[in-house]
Amino acid sequence: MTRPLLAGSVLAVLAAVLVLLSGVLGPETQAVALLGTALGGALGLVADRSPAQRAGAFAAGLAAAWVGYLLRAAVLPDAPSGRAVAVLLVVLACTLVAAGTRGSLPLWASLLGAASLAGAFEATYTADPSGVVTTSPTAATAVLLAAGAGFVATSLLGATLARDADRAAAAPAPDDEGGARHTADPRPSLRPLQLTEES
């Protein structure tokens, strides 16, 4: 119960701070604050592989999605068929990364990275496909900033809570004198009574 409450509270504050600082960080940050912190928080909360491996897989997925947008703008038709091919290639790229690293870079984390750029950039790309080279870095930077903040916060929080849980588990339980008396073997106290009755 404690971990979800703390993690959710931290992510909520981070998302709000990013929105408030969008005047400094850029208007794109405001648009992706919730998306980025949510995906970054999920990346940090799932205890699968090391934080570095999860972050590497996330970056690989984001890069695959970026290449997918470049292919859509350069060679694929601006039609549902072209978008379908791009999606297919991006997911296959994430799968190959996971398979090529024998799972060291988990598939789910790379898919989160691909989804982060798709969620942050799809509307901008649709409005101006020819400007992908100039507009995509801005979207990628904004979502990486938000996701990075959520990832670092939840990773540190998870490590702290795990250490506290280990210490609590290793601490000796307080003596319960009443419980000790209750669980004591009652037979010694009955023997004198039994001997008296027999005699």
CB 118 within 8 A of CB 65: yes
Q: Does the pLDDT at position 35 exceed 70? A: yes
How many degrees, rounded to 5, is the angle at CA 41 between CA 40 and CA 44?
A: 90
**pTM of the entire structure?**
0.76
Average pLDDT, the chain: 83
Residue 134: predicted pLDDT: 93
Chain position carrying tokens 């978008």:
83
Stretch 152-161: mean pLDDT: 77
Q: Give me the mean pLDDT over the 136-152 stretch.
A: 93
Reported as a single tens digit per residue, the pLDDT across 98-135 is 999 999 999 999 999 999 999 999 999 999 999 999 99
Helix %, strand %, coil % of the chain (to 5):
85, 0, 15
Q: What is the structure's pLDDT at 190? A: 47
* pLDDT score at 197: 45
Residue 172 has pLDDT above 70, yes or no: no
Residues 6+ apart with CB under 8 A from 167: none
Give the residue with greater pLDDT, 174 vs 65: 65
Average pLDDT over residues 156-173: 64
pLDDT at residue 8 tops 60: yes
